[in-house]
Amino acid sequence: MNKEELKKGGQLERDIHSKVDADHPRDRLNENDRPSLEKVKTLFDQCEDFEHKHFANNGVVIVYLSSIIDDQKLESEIVKPISSINSTKVSDWLQKKDINEGTVLKEIKEKILSGCVAIFFDEKAYFYNVFGAELRGIEKSETETVIVGAHDAFVENAIINLSLIRTRIMSSNLKVIKLRVGEVTKSDVYVLYIDGLADMDMVEDLKKRISDIEIDSVYDTNMLSQIIDESPDSLFPQYYNTELPDVIRSKLVGGKIAVILDGSPVAISAPTNFFEFIQSPDDYNQRWLIGTSLRLLRLVAILITLTFTAAYVAVITFHYEVLPEDILLTLTESRAKVPFPPLIEALLMELTIELLREAGARLPTKVGQTIGIVGGIVIGQAAVEAGFTSNILIIAVASSAIASFVLPSYNMSNAIRIVRFILILLSGFFGFFGIMLGFTFFVIHVTSLTSLKAPYFIPVSPIYVSDWKDIFIRGPYRLLRKRPVQSKTVNPVRNKMKN
């Protein structure tokens, strides 16, 4: 059989399948029609968890998805009452306040998919919520550790997550807008903001971006944020993501907007800036001097993780004259047996560290910790003894790796790690000039980014000195009188505490 015949055969098979799909009764249904039992059965054809029960004593039929309903609730609140009444009393029973009538087929379908039981009687359809799918309980976050403060974290159910926020912000000004994304999954998205604090232009912009999404499914808020990013090809996250309700509360009170996706334990907020990713809830739950010292420590950690290994490569390759004679002699002895140039030596060790990090993250917790500690010690010592690397490089690489763990945000930590590799490559080819060139491009890039059209590097570029008291330091609460400029809030005054 030649290629032309194969092509015709494949086209014929696709035509047959498309014809079969088009002839399926489900495709001929209009979801705006009035609901009926037969139409609902057609919609849920070949769904093994779709069940229906007929009550001979009164003619009532109920249908539901057994995988997402509470069997006990269904039995006690629907099955037993219906079984005990005749057809003349069904209409009165259906007037219960929690039982509602569905007027179109699409509404009944969506209610069944959300855990309701559909009740058919006298050519009308009703629905009642008996949702009871197994849900994960509220637990501590595994990725965001809080030492001082609340320890509860979001779960995969959006309603529970909304309740965690509602109990923290007991105000009618907290508005919740429900949207839907995913042509197949039909995932619920909730946009939260505080009326009177959030900028409504930003709210409308974010709503439009979410509403305009055309994709079959959205699994997680991290995926959602990438779809609505203004610079999707950038390394740096442009929406702040967190599993902690306390963090989202602080963002909302600061005049920002939050987004919750049903099925995801992560919420995002916007607009955000680069400096928010080096902040931690612990900064605000401790004395301001301690919070300031921790924040400055994280800024130093970013410099260490970006420059230590790159500086080693630059010095050994181009600028050994900057070292004191004693250190230069020690370094020369350490590298005497190393067969690789400094760039290759550094890249090999950095890749080894990344492999150990990734292995530790994917393995069970206790095994992963053991692999990271034992693997690092054994491989580092063996590499030095075998002459594949120098002692000083091991110190530089280990210091860079430890410093990268200091950042509270996992997404920002990943971005910084990639930038570190770029700086190492530039230092291997151009020395200190390469490092400065890399930093220049880094600053140009982050200052060009925006989050909901707000500058990403604010309050440094553009400069708003008034916001620096909660960026580079965590100022005392008596000085934190205004909300961040980036949120463009219509009510900038946070409090009126006296000096």
The residue among 8 and 399 whose pLDDT is bigger is: 399
CA distances from 259 to 103, 177, 208, 245 (A): 31, 9, 13, 12
User: Does residue 372 have a pLDDT over 90?
Assistant: no
**Average pLDDT value for residue range 44-69:** 89
Cα–Cα separations (whole angstroms), residue 41 to 35, 37, 114, 151, 185: 11, 6, 17, 45, 20
Query: What CA–CA distance (Å, rounded) separates 331 from 162?
Result: 58
Mean pLDDT to the nearest integer, 222-234:
92
pLDDT score, position 144: 85
pLDDT score of 2? 47
Question: Quick one: average pLDDT of 275-302?
Answer: 92
Q: What is the predicted pLDDT for the residue at 198? A: 92
Reported confidence tier of residue 484, pLDDT bands at 50, 70, 90:
confident
| Cα 311 from Cα 317, distance rounded (Å) | 10
For the chain, what's the residue count?
Answer: 499
Average pLDDT, the chain: 85
Tokens 């400029």 locate to 485
Query: Is 209:237 a contact under the CB 8 Å cutoff?
Result: no
Check residue 367 and give its pLDDT: 61
Residue 8 has pLDDT above 50, yes or no: no
What count of other Cβ atoms lies within 10 Å of the Cβ of residue 161? 27
Average pLDDT over residues 205-221: 92
pLDDT at 102 over 60: yes
- What pLDDT was estimated at residue 345? 87
Distance (Å) of CA 59 to CA 41, 77, 104:
17, 18, 21
Most confidently modeled range among 35-39, 48-52, 421-425, 476-480: 421-425
Cβ atoms of residues 174 and 165 within 8 Å: yes
Least confident of 115-124, 175-184, 322-331, 379-388: 379-388
197 exposure class (CB count in 10 Å sphere: 0-12, 13-18, 19+): buried
As a whole number of Å, the CA-based R_g of the chain is: 30
Token digits for 59?
């003619």
Closest CA to 153 of 276, 275, 241: 241
Does residue 179 or residue 97 have the better pLDDT? Answer: 179
Confirm whether pTM is higher than 0.85: no
d(CA 471, CA 254): 14
* DSSP annotation string for 405-429: TT-S-HHHHHHHHHHHHHHHHHHHH
Name residue 73's amino acid: K
Q: Tell me: the pLDDT tens digits for 381-397?
A: 777 777 778 888 888 88
pLDDT over 90 for what percent of the chain?
A: 41
Vertex 95 angle, CA 92 and 101, to 5°? 125
List Cα–Cα distances, 289 to 53, 284, 321, 472, in angstroms.
Answer: 66, 10, 40, 12
Average pLDDT over residues 353-361: 81
